[in-house]
Amino acid sequence: MTPPRTTPPMDRTELREAIEAKAHELGFALVGVARAAESSRGDALRQWIADGKHGEMSWIAERVAEATDVRTLVRGARSVICVADRYHDGKPDRVRGARGRIARYARGKDYHDVIRDRLRKLGRFMRECAPGCQTRLTGDIHPILEREQAARALLGAIGKHTLMIRPALGSYFLLGEIVTDADVAASDEAPRARDEAGATADLCGACTRCIDACPTGAITPYSVDATRCTAYLTIEHRSAIPAEFFGKTGDWWFGCDVCQEVCPHAQPTRASRRVGASPLHAPRLDSVDLLEVLGWTEADRARLVVSSALRRATLAMMKRNALLALASVARGDAGLAERVRERCAEIAASEGEEEMVRAAARATSNAI
């Protein structure tokens, strides 16, 4: 009997090349491989937490070991496969009137689902290529320092706003990772890897546009104080927003893109137009009518958040956020300001509203 034909095992470089090809086939714009190792930013993370800059995100403080060493996720981990989706083309918004903007990453289908489904397929492919290997998905599932991993995999460099920047393509990227015990050749072993690493070492130079433009002063070079960040305040912060921020956060209702909007690297280029944004992240809703939100019911919220990252906000948070945005939007418009004050008075006096919404109504009325 003729013995069955077998495919010889791939070497480290062949495995990386196969993974890269499969990732591109699955629609990821960027893919690279980093060595599984301890983070170089552990001390900075621990100090950031000690300073209370993580705010109400207690899970970060509880999982520092996991965040600073991916090897805690997979026994014997040797490699981290890093992928990135480009979700926006960098074109400016054109939103008018009493509308609240949604951060661009949250305008389409929930990115967790979009990326996770394809990461699972990539993981299965890896186990076929390297039988017996373990794979574990991360990418907003576990609190690893994924931008550092992406930088190590040569996908880009971390900017002063703490987001990953890819030369000529900007920073509108969503990241995902697979930690594995398979020995995959790292991207910095590839031909011309040294040139790529040098090109992405420092993309900011003396530029401080993101720091200067941040409406709440949340950014210092390569660090963000979450407790002052509009994105954190409108998404992760689950309680009343301090009155000091009312009138400062602009028309943002869910998240914020200011630091990317002003970044020179995030502006459209020939290369970025050619690459485009992934159709899997096509926007479905870019803004909401802020006054309408104040009258929403739970049923209204439920219809909006189906398959959307917006589901992270409760109904009370959505109303609170609408009032926060109105505190900025209504300024300079006497007619709108009067309508907002009247609505704020009704909400502040309503025992049927949660206290953080009533507090937001009082803060908004004072701010305008």
So which residues are the catalytic ones? Answer: 140
> Look-up: residue for tokens 């909401």?
288
Task: Retrieve residue 310's tokens.
Answer: 């917006």
Helix (H, G, I), strand (E, B) or coil at 179: strand
Phi-psi region of 167 (alpha: psi -120 to 50; beta: other; left: phi over 0): beta
User: Distance between CA atoms of 104 and 98, rounded to whole angstroms?
Assistant: 18
User: Distance between CA atoms of 228 and 232, rounded to whole angstroms?
Assistant: 8
Helix (H, G, I), strand (E, B) or coil at 194: helix
238 DSSP assignment: -
Contact of 116 with 137, CB cutoff 8 Å: yes
User: Distance between CA atoms of 80 and 177, rounded to whole angstroms?
Assistant: 6
Q: What order of strands is seen across the sheet that includes strand 173-180?
A: 30-35, 79-86, 173-180, 135-137
Q: What order of strands is seen across the sheet that includes strand 287-289?
A: 252-254, 99-102, 287-289
> Look-up: residue for tokens 């909007």?
261
**Bridge-based pairing state of the strands 173-180 and 135-137:** antiparallel
Of 35, 53, 48, residue with least CA distance to 151 = 35
Task: Retrieve residue 331's tokens.
Answer: 């300024």
Read off the amino acid at residue 200: T
Tabulate helix, strand, coil % of the chain (nearest 5): 45, 15, 40
What burial letters (b/e) apply to 83-104, b meaning 16+ CB within 10 Å?
bbbbbbbbeeeeeeebbbbbbb
Contact of 3 with 122, CB cutoff 8 Å: no
